[in-house]
Amino acid sequence: MNIRQTSFRDLARIEQLYRQSVERDDGTGQMSSDSPVPQATLLRLWQGLTKSLSSLMPISDSSDALLVAEEASEGVVGFIQAQAPPGRTKAWQILNLCTSSTAAGHFASERLIEALCNFGLEHGVHRFHVRLPLDHPLVPAFLQQRFTQFATEQILYRDETPDTVHAIPHPTLLRPARREDIPAIHLLYLRTTPSQVADYEGPSLKAWTAGYAQGLVARMGRDDVRHYVVEHPGVIAWAAIRPPSGMRPAQLTLMCEGHDAGLRDSIIDAVLGELPPGPAVCVLRHYDSELIRALQQRSFAVYGTQLLLVCDLGVKMRISQSVRRKKPLLVHAGIARSVPVVVQHSRRERSSPK
């Protein structure tokens, strides 16, 4: 089996493989906007993605890697696509992985993942991540290629605005966020996120701002997303609301400290009060369990569960440091000669005969 970079002659076969994968995965019902599994679910349609090749993979614009697996007897039996998230050139996100239903396609998935990692290392990329629905057949293939489970994400969905709305005890709790609030929001992220996750997603403020939530924070004040923060007295909560457009529902991104349960519930009620009427979706991770339960109590339901798998191929080496010399004790020159030395002889030495 030959793994190589794609060419324009492969586009027709790639689109055929993609459509076949869509037909096999129809109705499974767990999807995210950046998952490599092309399932034609309701959430996928809301993200405004179609099954046409032009919207799937702009090869010359946004795709950093597009490899195909070619078999001598069957031709192209699979492809894999990855690209770098905004602001993170040393990390790739796997967008699509499709193989044929034949035996050659079954063995092509692991070969494609391995080839993509090697191809990325040649271009200075050492971190890869992928999102997959829970219990998907591709999960073992990624785990065998040194991917580890990084987080479990819950996709929560609300179909319609509930008839009963929780009373907001503090209507002035929220205020619109400004760009100067970004460092405080980053500190909130570090407080509410496990250290191993934060070290990967946001090793610095610049990297976190560019890549978190697909660049949502970096575009603050420059698009139609509304950002809110809560100060008590520092920033203890942040929310971003993307209005609905076309077939895509309103999208809520939420981050909140949970030390005060009553205050957290008031913040959630205030944020939901800013949501436009109609369907809404929110993605939260397993360590946001309190927020997940709070949204479930407010007409949200878990629509799907997906795994975030991460592979870090960076080699960490311990560099030996040269042994430092002890700083010598400095004394003023001539001190020993400036002190007079008096030699006293004993009486015995004086009286002793020569």
Among residues 32, 62, 64, 61, which one has the least CA distance to residue 49?
A: 32
Mean pLDDT of the chain: 79
- Chain-centroid distance of CA 339 in Å reads 72
**What pLDDT band is residue 245 in, cutting at 50, 70 and 90?**
confident
**What pLDDT band is residue 344 in, cutting at 50, 70 and 90?**
low
Residue 102 burial by CB count (10 A; 0-12/13-18/19+): exposed, middle or buried? middle
Residue 263 vs residue 246, higher pLDDT: 263
Q: Which residue intervals of the chain are DSSP H helices?
A: 11-25, 42-46, 53-56, 103-122, 139-143, 182-192, 195-201, 205-211, 261-274, 289-296, 335-338, 347-351
Q: Amino acid letter at 281?
A: V
Residue 177 vs residue 160, higher pLDDT: 177
Task: For residue 309, report the phi and psi dihedrals to the nearest 5 degrees.
Answer: -105, 140
pLDDT in tens, 130-152: 888 888 888 999 999 999 998 89
**What pLDDT band is residue 159 in, cutting at 50, 70 and 90?**
confident
At residue 40, does pLDDT exceed 60? no
Sequence-separated (6 or more) residues with CB below 8 Å from residue 96: 18, 36, 38, 56, 57, 79, 80, 81
Can you list the domains of the chain with their CATH numbers? Answer: 2-152 (3.40.630.30), 161-298 (3.40.630.30)
pLDDT in tens, 41-55: 434 433 332 233 333
- What mean pLDDT comes out for the span 94-116? 90
Q: Cα(280)–Cα(96) distance, rounded to whole angstroms?
A: 26
